[in-house]
Structure 1
Amino acid sequence: MTTLQDLNSCDRAAFVATLRGIYEHSPWIAEGAAVLRPFDSPVALKQGLQAVVTLASKDQQLALLRAHPELAGKAAIAGELTAESTGEQAASGLNRCSAEEYATLHELNAAYKDKFGFPFILAVKGPLGAGLTRSAIIETFARRLKNQPADELAECLRQVHRIAEIRLNELLKVQHMFGPQVMEWAEQLGAISDSVDHLTCAYMTPAHQRTAAQLRDWMIESGMDVHIDAVGNVVGRYAAAQPDAKTLITGSHYDTVRNGGKYDGRLGILLPITLVAHLKERGERLPFHLEVIGFAEEEGVRFRSTFLGSSAITGRFNPILLEQQDAEGVTMREALVSAGHDPAAIAGIARDPAMLLGFVEVHIEQGPVLLERGLPVGVVTAIAGSSRYLVELGGVASHAGTTPMGMRRDAAAAAAEIVLLVEARCSGRGSLVGTVGQLEVPSGSVNVIPGQCRLSLDIRAADDAVRLEAVDDILAGISAICARRGIDEKLWKLVEADAAPCAPRLMDRLGKAIEDSGLPRYDLLSGAGHDAMEMASITEVAMLFTRCGNGGISHNPLETMTADDAEIAGQVLLIFLRGLDVAAA
């Protein structure tokens, strides 16, 4: 068996020869990485090899891609693939394609090569390393064929690195302790849904209650004391040896958006459960109580109110929300009672801030920053504040053919100008971003000038002053546009949430844990809201982001990550927990 020590101590020729099958027909990558030895961990070795490719010329990168065979192509049929490629394609059944599947792949291969000039590359062993289905491969092939050339070049290089990662794991017989279990559990939870067609888990539905029960069972099996509280949070407690010790809380939410992904929120619950099981198996106790909380609701899907689970923990749950109704007219109070909960007990859930060490949340990034930098994890610096508005514009609906252009009061044209105003005001301003995510022309007709238009505004930034200044400018700009065009405007504020900076003490501890894992520390902002925003009202918070695949897509069935990245996040969190300075809190 080859070990990392063998690779670090052998001569350059032996190093290159041992790694000859990791990157397809490209020994120059191992040659470039040889001078970077010694590597402290397999993760560091993977990063070193990846760095050689990243720093290579575009011609070298294209040569690397062109060294790969087509999926189920002529070389595969003729048995001319490398042993590694043969095994990988066989693991996904590409050697057993039907005549129709071969024909489809042949057409896709030809169209892809004609568009991009290199073969389609996909780590067909998938996120778990067990192999994708042929239908999943064909769907991915067809989807990526629509990409722009620069984006697809970057994606193919990422897939090459994933293939190399899987091959290195096999070469070094890498054993994962946490990642595969997290991925398996995520698949099981992903099968529990309000819909038969996709994953939706809305607050207090039958699927939501089943999910909570499953999390409770896994927490119990891991060695925690567990209860489901009055708001539906699943709370597992791994006690310290000293009863009077303080508590560190970790966790995330288990509800989902409609037609969502399997890892948003749930990664941050499942990962610490596996860590507790590991600690319990070793008979190891931490110098603090560790609470893992599966927050019952963060997305606001059913009752249009977010952070229900974490706001109960912070003591900021608004009881007025109990009378909110869902689309069927069911109140939140009725839904809780029907599920066996006592709404009157929610106020008693609140934690005493004096007894808390902090809150740390592990979450997929839901964006492409880590992905584009080839990094599996990163330290969150702050969660952006958010201002959201609904704007209604009133013009005059009139005949599209008989009303001169200069005499129109077109609500949609005003809306279009507002969209461009938001884009211009928020571009090139650091963390500031602005989005018009909803745009509607009620009762619009092809031959009628729009008399009404509704649109949303979502303005976010890590710095509240920057965000609020942008909001003021945009609202003033909307008024000016409407005055010039003769449009009436109405405005409703939907959300005003301050930015939540992460605690430097906890950030540095996470950063040190990442470096101890053989990776460089990388800091980034969270543009999305998280339960950590709410928890910041009672204790210091930190967040660890994990790389999100498929271009960083989230809130979508295409949301994905790998067992290797989950493993790294687990190792980082474990180092963080073991090294947390209780005295400094």
Structure 2
Amino acid sequence: MLAGIYEHSPWIAEAAIGARPAQGYASLAALKRALVEVVQAAPRERQMALICAHPELAGKAMQADALTAESTNEQNKAGLTACTPEELQRIQQLNADYRARFGFPFILAVRGPRGDGLSKAQILATFERRLANHPDFEFDEALRNIHRIAELRLNDRFGYTPAQGNAAWDWLEQLAQFSEPPYAERGELTVTYLSEAHRACAQRLSHWMRESGFDDVSIDAVGNVVGRYRPAQDGAPYLLTGSHYDTVPNGGKYDGRLGIVVAMQAVARLAHAGRRLPFGIELVAFAEEEGQRFPATFIGSSPLAGRFDPAWLELRDAQGISLREAIQGAGLSVSGIAGLARNPADYLGYVEVHIEQGPVLNALGLPLAVVTSINGSLRYVGEVAGRASHAGTTPMAARHDAAAAVAEWMLAIERRALGDGDSVATVGMLEVPNGAVNVIPGRCRFSLDLRAPTDAQRDALASDVFKELERICQRRGVSHTVRETMRAAAAPSAPTWQQRWERAVAALGLPVHRMPSGAGHDAMMLHQILPQAMLFVRGENAGISHNPLESSTSDDIQLAIDAFSTLLEDAVQQPR
């Protein structure tokens, strides 16, 4: 059954079979993970041999009809066995360039994230993009693609189709057809709050919720799409879930939206079986989370938590339209916002599924992770002031270089955060006003973003880095000013709901990986009134997010749907 799953490398299957538990692997997902772990534990030389065992795309082996049956099927699905002479020449040149740079063949899972084949244009674009990668990264990326190839071959071998994952993946593709100008004309995805594309998304989500079996579907006063699947008994509490459907400019298809479609598929499974649970399920597709149109975030989820600030109604977008005017212009009711606040006594809690938006799961080869906390954050802007002077005539020991002071401080920040568990620190903006090539910088402006799983850890990090800034400035004879621009509290996961996610992941036969969320989510807002916990889903392309390359596979989405369904069953068996 496992012959040919990993190209010309039977040692992988042999090791996984030798290590299998006495009762066998619990699931196909568990078998896939066991095979991945064999490769991860292998020495680099054997990993390199595995990579080199794969044929080049549309290479000599294909032309000589010497591919394995599996490779022939995969390259055929991508159209590589029917290239024009010009396409063949381009691919062969890319193959040569890639091998010259990295020393091994270009490996790509050409059947793609849904398993039905990438287009030749997508393959060529990926080829060209990956030529710019660092060799170590590209080595790991080759292995990741090999595991995806193996996953699809295992699906074929065992007759497995991630049907709900495919359906959810298709929904995300279809939802991405709604974008606003001028991005739509460039094939880019941008959906900002209450734009025409945004309202079209709301209508489509409403339609899908009804199709999925939700009993009541509506669009509320701020544009949230709300679906309710009623409990077995009237008056029973609800489990709240959701995520956002707005995007950043030229963003990805999965950020926020993945959590909406996963929940819809889980409810569709219940509705198809004719099942009602002891609690209802309320899904909210939040209208705004990204803060792209107006200088406010969580416009969608803040009213549910009773945290909507009425002063926001007077905020204006780049065209001078106020939030009040935008809401009224969309046919929504400003007067209804106050009534959106949820009564915590009516709910069991809040759970959210979200694409990871980072590289951790992709690097570990894991499809899912349980979130332990949404990091608390602090943001600052500041400036170091020194003395501008002639770059040629001022001795090094006599300088008061503002930029050098900030540079030294940046390295100190990096060291401090590296030694602090899951804390992160970023100086994202640097500016030397009126800088010149022959002038020692007299001023240097900067931003600072600090995040940590707990507020105490975050505050200790801030205290230490600013003490270090003071020491550096005193030693270098410069001064500094700093202003705090944002403070957000950490949102630790509720133990009961985190444990339910953990049991759901374990039930799939997967190792339970726990990690904090460095990004903010609607769960932060609901955390203020309800116990909450999140599940992360692996992203492809090194987990990139807020980017058109943001992606996930239908297999990983299927696992998230299965985990969500298992969490529901767990809540039935072990109510609050």
Q: TM-score, normalised by structure 1?
A: 0.93
Which residue of 2 is the match for residue 7 of structure 1? none
CA contact (8 A) 1:76 1:86 kept: yes
Separation (CA, whole Å) in 2 of partners of 1:202 and 1:80: 51
Q: How many residues align?
A: 568
Q: Partner letter of residue 232 of structure 1?
A: G
What corresponds to 2:67 in structure 1? 81
> Contact 1:432/1:461 (CA < 8 Å) preserved in 2?
yes
Deviation at 1:452, TM superposition (A): 3.8
CA contact (8 A) 2:278 2:572 kept: no
Q: How does 1:105-504 map to 2 (within 5 A)?
A: 105-194=91-180, 195-196=183-184, 197=186, 198-224=188-214, 225-397=216-388, 400-401=391-392, 405-406=396-397, 408-504=399-495
The CA deviation at 1:286 is 1.5
Q: Could you say what secondary structure the match of 1:185 adopts?
A: helix
After superposition, the Cα gap between the structure-2 partners of 1:312 and 1:582, relative to the gap in structure 1 and judged at 3 Å, is: farther
**Mind listing any 5+ residue stretches in structure 1 that lack a counterpart?**
1-17
State yes or no: 1:28 paired with 2:11. Answer: yes
Q: How far apart are residue 349 of structure 1 and its match?
A: 0.3
Distance 1:323 1:391 in 2: 28
**Residue 6 (structure 1) aligns with:** none
Q: What are the equivalent positions in structure 2 for 1:502-581 lying under 5 Å apart?
A: 502-581=493-572
Deviates more, 1:51-60 or 1:571-580: 51-60
Q: TM-score, normalised on structure 2?
A: 0.94
**Amino acid of the residue matched to residue 200 of structure 2?**
R
- Contact 1:366-1:552 within 8 A present in 2 as well: yes
**Structure 2: runs of 5+ lacking an equivalent:** none
Question: Matched residues in 1 for 2:396 and 2:220: separation?
Answer: 61
Task: Answer whether contact 2:293 2:318 (CA < 8 A) is retained.
Answer: yes
Question: Displacement of 1:451 after TM fit?
Answer: 4.2
Considering only aligned residues, what root-mean-square deviation do their CA atoms show, in Å?
1.9
Q: 1:531 to 1:151 in 2, by over 3 A?
A: same
Match in the other structure for 1:8: none
| Offset of residue 316 of structure 1 | 0.7
- Which whole-Å CA distance do the structure 2 matches of 1:540 and 1:68 have between them? 48
Taking structure 1 as reference, are residues 162 and 450 closer, same or farther at Cα in structure 2, changes over 3 Å only? same
In the TM superposition, residue 33 of structure 1 has moved relative to its aligned partner by 2.1
Secondary structure at the aligned position of 2:104 is classed as coil
Write the letter of the residue equivalent to 1:63. Answer: A
Question: Cα deviations across residues 141-200 of structure 1 (Å, max 9, x unaligned)?
Answer: 222222223222221111111001111111111132321111111112222122223222
In the alignment, residue 63 of structure 2 is paired with which amino acid? I
- 2 CA distance for matches of 1:445 and 1:280? 67
Does 2:81 correspond to 1:95?
yes
Q: Cα deviation per residue 1:453-489 (whole Å; 9 max; x = unaligned)?
A: 3221111111221210111222233344344445453
- Determine the structure 1 residue equivalent to 2:52: 66
Counterpart CA distance in 2 for 1:405 and 1:207 is 57
CA distance in 1, matches of 2:68, 2:253: 34
What amino acid does structure 2 have at the position aligned with 1:514? V
Aligned position for 2:28: 42
Query: Could you tell which deviates more after superposition, 249-258 or 194-203?
Result: 194-203
Q: How much identity, in percent, do the aligned residues show?
A: 53
Residue aligned with 1:309, SS: coil
Q: Is the 8 A contact 2:277 2:572 kept in 1?
A: no
- Shift, 1:350, TM fit: 0.4
Counterparts of 1:116 and 1:271, CA distance in 2: 38
Higher mean C-alpha displacement, 50-59 vs 352-361: 50-59
Alpha-carbon spacing, 1:321–1:394, altered in 2? closer, same or farther (3 Å): farther
Q: Rate the CA distance shift 1:582–1:503 in 2: closer, same or farther, 3 A.
A: farther
d(CA) in 1 for partners of 2:342 and 2:280? 13
* 1:13 equivalent in structure 2: none
Given that residues 298 and 531 in structure 1 are in contact (C-alpha distance below 8 angstroms), is that contact kept between their aligned partners in structure 2?
Answer: yes
Could you list the per-position Cα deviations for residues 260-290 of structure 1 after superposition, in whole angstroms to 9, with x for gaps in the alignment? 1110111000111122122112111111110
